[in-house]
Each structure stands twice: as structure tokens, then as C-alpha cells.
């Protein structure tokens, strides 16, 4: 009888220690400005409850999202909208500080942005489209979670310089894979915060929705990390890359652009009669939506293109559609 009690007590201590070890983001540094994140074990007991830039999930504590196929995966369990908004310039750095993270909880880190439209404080986060701006996983045999622990429990991302200004929800998460060999064993720890991004960018990257972005059989979600793996596939889409316009898998290329869709300007303000596959390099700056229209995603220039009078010049290209 005594041995049973001791064993039960020991098991309880293990569970308690694991719960205590689960981490949350407690602070966010945005372009040098310091913001306290929603504190799940403190804020609910303060009068009044402090207003934060991060969404609260008081009922979930520091526990992981148990089922990533539910709405809890968006901003954590039963998340409530934040009252404040942080101002930030495109191109600025944001650092997330976690209160703790156990070494056993090895896995990747992922960060997304979603354009809220008019106001992130009143939006349904499950209706937004999130584009990934950063991720890291396993590199040279070392998990990013170990680097985060070594770096004062912090991780820094950069807001893309060329995205359009506006109100954005930033979604940041760690994924613990110590139990991921079982279905629904992967442990997600997401959080969200309200941003108002300023800048002169024009890019509105397409995105994914939560739930839906992660699948039960994704190789980065159903995985045994104790099998001495050399490579790891981070869940979700590839990050948006400002330097190369868009990630290869994000957008459908356009091989031909009709003359009706493209206006070409030089000093004589002429309209190009045709642009064919010889200019297929331009395709990377277009997306092809479900309609027949083409949408410009990034400004660009062409060089040495023949014009009607036989001369050639550098000129800008503008797409209407």
C-alpha cells in the first residue's frame, strides 16, 4: 500500500513539474520598445485587469493546445482580443521573451502575420489569412529550442520591409515534439499580439488559415525525434521572402502577360504591343488568382526592351487588373 502511495505521489510530482515547466511569452520587445505580454497567472487577479497588446488565454494557463485542428490553435485556448496595439515600422525587429522552456521540449519556432483590415481588436482571428515571416527548426543537429534557451529564452524576428502598412495580428509559437511520435502528441504553444505596421510597402502576401494550415500527418508534426533524425520539415508554408519577391511554392507563376494587362512607359509614354515568354522572368512578380485578372505584387523595372521607334530604354512596368 505504501509503495502505491509513493508511486502515485512521484507520478504527481512529474506531472506537476511538467506543467510548471511549460512556457509562455511574458515580454515582447518591439523596435526597442518593451511591452509586457498577457500574464496568465497574474493578470486575472489584478484589479483592473491590465490592458496588453497580446491576446489573453487565462483559462488555458501555460498548457499546450491539445488539438491543433480546433480554433485553439489560432491564438491559444479561448483567446480573448487584446485592448492595445503596438506601433512598429516595417523592417523593425521584434523579440519574444519566454518565461521558461524545458530542454526536453525540442522543436521549431514559427511566426506569422495576418492583415486584420480595420482593427485587430475586433477581428475574428480564425477568419484571417496568415503568411509566415520566419521559422527555424533543426540545423546542424541542433534544435532552435535549445538556442532559444541559450539566448535568454528569446527569439527575434524581422518585419518584412515591403509589406503594405496596416493593422496586423502577429502569431508566434513554439512546437514541442517530445511526444510527437503519437497522433496529436505534438504540443503547440501559440500566442498573438496586435500590431500597426507603418511603411511604404505594397505587398500583401497570400496566407493560410488556422485551423487548417497544419495536418495530422505532416512530417513535422507526426515525428519521432529520438530516431537520430538529420533533417526536419517545419510545419506550415515556407516563409515569405522579401529578397526574392515570394517563396517558390506560394504563388503560381505567369508565363505570358497580355498587352491589355500591361502598360509600359518610357519618355515617349508608349504602350507595349506584346510581352511574351521571352520576358518570363517577370512572372515572379505576378500572381494568378482564380479570375482571369493579373495582380501586381511588386514594382520592377525592365531594361533594353525594344520600343516602337526601334530604340531601347529602361522603363517601369505597371499592371492594371
CA distance 183 to 175: 14
CA distance 157 to 175: 17
* 22 in a labelled binding site: yes
Closest by Cα among 119, 115, 48 to 82: 119
Closest by Cα among 272, 109, 248 to 191: 109
**Containing H/E element for 16?**
helix 2-21
* 209 in a labelled binding site: no
Residue 78's alpha-carbon distances to 62, 121, 127, 150, 269, in angstroms, are 13, 15, 15, 31, 56
* 187 in a labelled binding site: yes
Sheet holding 262-265, edge to edge: 262-265, 312-319, 301-306
* 155 in a labelled binding site: no
Own/partner pairs, 260-264, CB within 8 angstroms, 24+ separation: 261/293, 261/294, 261/319, 261/320, 261/321, 262/317, 262/318, 262/319, 263/317, 263/318, 263/319, 263/320, 264/302, 264/305, 264/315, 264/316, 264/317
Residues 6+ apart with CB under 8 A from 310: none
Size of the chain in residues:
321
CA atoms within 13 A on the CB side of 294: 22
* Residue 39 CA to its chain's centroid (Å): 22
Enumerate the known binding-site residues for O2.
178, 187
Enumerate the known binding-site residues for Cu(2+).
22, 105, 189
Enumerate the known binding-site residues.
22, 105, 178, 187, 189
Amino acid at each position: 500500500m505504501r509503495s502505491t502511495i509513493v508511486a502515485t505521489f512521484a507520478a504527481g510530482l512529474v506531472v506537476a513539474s511538467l506543467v510548471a515547466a511549460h512556457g509562455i511569452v511574458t515580454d515582447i520587445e518591439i523596435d526597442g520598445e518593451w511591452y509586457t505580454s498577457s500574464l496568465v497567472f497574474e493578470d486575472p487577479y489584478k484589479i483592473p485587469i491590465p490592458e496588453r497588446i497580446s491576446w489573453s488565454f487565462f483559462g488555458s494557463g501555460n498548457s499546450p493546445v491539445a488539438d491543433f485542428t480546433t480554433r485553439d490553435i489560432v491564438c491559444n485556448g479561448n483567446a480573448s482580443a487584446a485592448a492595445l496595439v503596438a506601433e512598429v515600422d516595417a523592417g523593425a525587429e521584434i523579440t519574444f521573451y519566454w518565461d521558461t522552456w524545458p530542454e526536453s521540449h525540442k522543436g521549431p519556432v514559427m511566426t506569422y502575420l495576418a492583415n486584420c483590415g480595420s482593427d485587430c481588436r475586433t477581428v475574428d482571428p480564425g477568419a484571417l489569412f496568415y503568411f509566415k515571416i520566419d521559422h527555424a527548426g533543426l540545423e546542424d543537429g541542433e534544435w532552435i529550442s535549445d538556442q532559444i534557451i541559450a539566448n535568454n529564452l528569446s527569439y527575434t524576428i524581422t518585419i518584412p520591409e515591403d509589406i503594405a502598412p496596416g493593422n496586423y495580428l502577429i502569431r508566434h509559437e513554439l512546437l514541442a515534439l517530445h511526444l510527437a511520435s503519437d497522433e496529436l502528441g505534438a504540443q503547440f504553444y501559440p500566442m498573438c499580439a496586435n500590431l500597426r505596421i507603418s511603411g511604404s510597402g505594397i505587398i500583401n502576401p497570400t496566407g493560410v488559415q488556422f485551423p487548417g494550415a497544419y495536418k495530422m500527418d505532416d512530417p513535422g508534426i507526426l515525428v519521432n525525434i529520438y530516431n537520430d533524425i538529420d533533417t526536419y520539415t517545419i510545419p506550415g508554408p515556407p516563409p515569405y521572402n522579401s529578397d526574392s519577391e515570394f517563396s517558390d511554392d506560394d504563388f503560381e507563376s505567369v508565363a505570358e502577360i497580355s498587352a491589355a494587362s500591361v502598360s509600359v512607359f518610357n519618355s515617349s509614354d508608349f504602350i507595349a504591343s506584346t510581352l511574351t515568354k521571352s520576358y518570363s522572368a517577370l512572372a515572379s512578380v505576378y500572381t494568378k488568382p482564380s479570375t482571369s485578372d493579373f495582380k501586381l505584387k511588386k514594382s520592377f523595372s525592365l531594361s533594353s526592351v525594344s520600343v516602337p521607334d526601334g530604340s531601347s530604354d529602361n522603363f517601369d512596368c505597371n499592371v492594371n487588373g
